[in-house]
Amino acid sequence: MQQALTREESAEQEREMERMLELLMRGLSACCEAPFDTSRVIPKGKSHAGHGPRYCSKCGKFAYMV
């Protein structure tokens, strides 16, 4: 069973989530703050265009999938 977070821990988690969302909105990965590698995303003009994985262009870590 996990112990409840302290106010400080909860506030830190909230700050980190806000930072991650801000980076995401700017097209940057949370791990390295580098642009996303979208080379595996389905190109325009094809069925499901824009869908596919986004990876950090610096370290290659998976970021998210559309």
Provide the residue range defining the domain that includes 60.
Answer: 7-65
Q: Is residue 2 part of a domain?
A: no
| Strand 62-65 with 53-56, pairing | antiparallel
- In the chain, the number of structural domains is 1
The pLDDT tens digits of the residues spanning 2-11 come to 889 999 999 9
The pLDDT tens digits of the residues spanning 19-30 come to 999 999 999 999
Q: Is residue 59 part of a domain?
A: yes
Q: Are 37 and 57 in contact (CB under 8 A)?
A: yes
User: Structure pTM?
Assistant: 0.79
Q: Is residue 22 part of a domain?
A: yes
Q: What local confidence, expressed as pLDDT, does residue 2 receive?
A: 82
Taking 90 as the threshold, does the pLDDT of residue 66 lie above it?
yes
Half-sphere exposure of 64 (CA within 13 A, CB side): 14
Q: Is residue 1 part of a domain?
A: no
In 1-66, where does DSSP find H-type helix? 7-25
